[in-house]
Amino acid sequence: MTLPDLLIPTYVQMLKALSAWLGKAETQRPEGGAELLLAARLAPDMFPLATQVRFACVQAQEGLFRLRNEAFPVSVGVLLDEGRNAADHPGTIADARARIAETIAVVEAAMGDTHPIDPATPIAHALPQGMVFDLTAEQYARDWALPQFYFHVMTAYAILRSQGVELGKADYVAHMFAHLRPGTMPSQ
């Protein structure tokens, strides 16, 4: 298994889940009520839902391009700007879902162009504050790319739940139902 073999399906399935959660929010809060959720936060010093969605998309794209030692697409900068400004300009649920769909398209396009990445390849991961982490490709994927992606996805899930959107474990692991052994689903 290569690092892209691990990351790409993970990003796609969880981004699809995130989009579905936003769809549920729209259904459960019609007539613009779902739009108010985009400004919701878990804590005053945390980013709002609109930012969490954009940053999940950033993490998916950034992870793949960094591992491939390629320049980030323009979409990463757009998502970062939107995410940083989302407290003042959260956009709409349709905007958020469009960003997710665009990211899925970028990630799926990378699927067709995967090449093995030596897990020992050195990666210098610089943060905007000036900190630099020296990692191998394997460490970057395991210790940064996936955890950061899941942080933003799970924070979005937690915001939606805390705001009363009816989501459950089945919504989080919806991708697993494709693997469910016939006849093993509990009756309700």
Per-domain residue ranges of the chain: 3-179
pLDDT, one tens digit per residue, over 115-137 is 778 899 999 998 888 999 999 99
Local structure of residue 164 (DSSP, 8 states): T
Residue-by-residue DSSP string for 44-62: TTSPPHHHHHHHHHHHHHH
Secondary structure element (H or E) that encloses residue 144, with its range: none
CATH no. for 3-179: 1.20.120.450
Residue indicated by tokens 């693997």 = 179
Whether pTM > 0.85 for this model: the answer is yes
pLDDT, one tens digit per residue, over 16-55 is 999 999 999 999 998 878 889 999 999 999 999 999 999 9
Query: CA-to-CA distance for 142 and 126, rounded, in angstroms?
Result: 17
Q: What per-residue string of b and e applies to 60-76 under the rule 16 or more CB within 10 Å gives b?
A: bbbbbbbbbeeeebebb
Q: What is the pLDDT of residue 1?
A: 65
